[in-house]
Amino acid sequence: MMPYLAKILLYPVKSLNGVEVENARVLASGALQHDREFAIFDEQGKFVNGKRHAKIHLLRAQFALLNRTISLQIPGDDLQQIFHLDEERQALEATLSDFFKFAVTLGQCVSRTYVKYKFLYKYRGFETGKSRHQQLKIKFRVWC
C-alpha cells in the first residue's frame, strides 16, 4: 500500500487544540497557513506550553479559522468565551493570565518563527509482518 496523507491538523495557537481541515495552503516559507500563527508567552518571553506549564492541558479551544475567532472553555466556567484573535487579543491575554495566575501575551508569528507539521501516514509493515496497517507520525520542525 502506498503512503497517503490521512489528515491535516492545524494548531492556530501553539499548544492549544488543533483543527482538522480538508486542505491547507502552503506558504512560501513552507509553513501551512494558520498553523502556529499564534503562541502564548510568559513574562520571560518563553513559550507557555505543556512542557513548562501542564495546566495548559486543561484548556479547551475551538477555532473558526475564517472568522479568526477562538472559543475558549476554562475549567470551572460553564460558558465558553469567544475572542477575535486580532480585535480582542488584550481580553484574551487577560483571561489567559487569570487562568495561569501569571501574565501572558499572545504573540503572532508573522515570519513563521515556529512551524511543526504532523503527517499521519498509513503503511503496510515491511519485514516484520506484525501489522498490516499502522500509523506513523512524522514530525518536522522548522525554525526561521
Per-residue model confidence as pLDDT tens digits over 98-143 = 999 999 999 987 654 433 333 333 333 333 333 333 333 333 333 2
93: left (phi over 0), alpha (psi -120 to 50) or beta: alpha
Tens digits of residue pLDDT in 52-101: 999 999 999 999 999 999 999 999 898 999 999 999 999 999 999 999 99
Query: Residues for the chain: how many in total?
Result: 144
- Who's near 131: CB < 8 A, 6+ residues apart? 125
pLDDT value, residue 109: 77
| HEC assignment per residue over 8-34 | EEECCECCCCCEEECCCCECCCCCECC
Q: Which amino acid is at 80?
A: Q
CB contact set of 28 (below 8 Å; sequence gap of 6+): none
pLDDT level of residue 5 (50, 70, 90 thresholds): confident
Pairing of strands 69-73, 134-143: unpaired
Query: 7 - beta bridge partners?
Result: none
Residues 130/123, Cβ–Cβ less than 8 Å: no
Nearest to 107 by CA among 97, 93, 95: 93
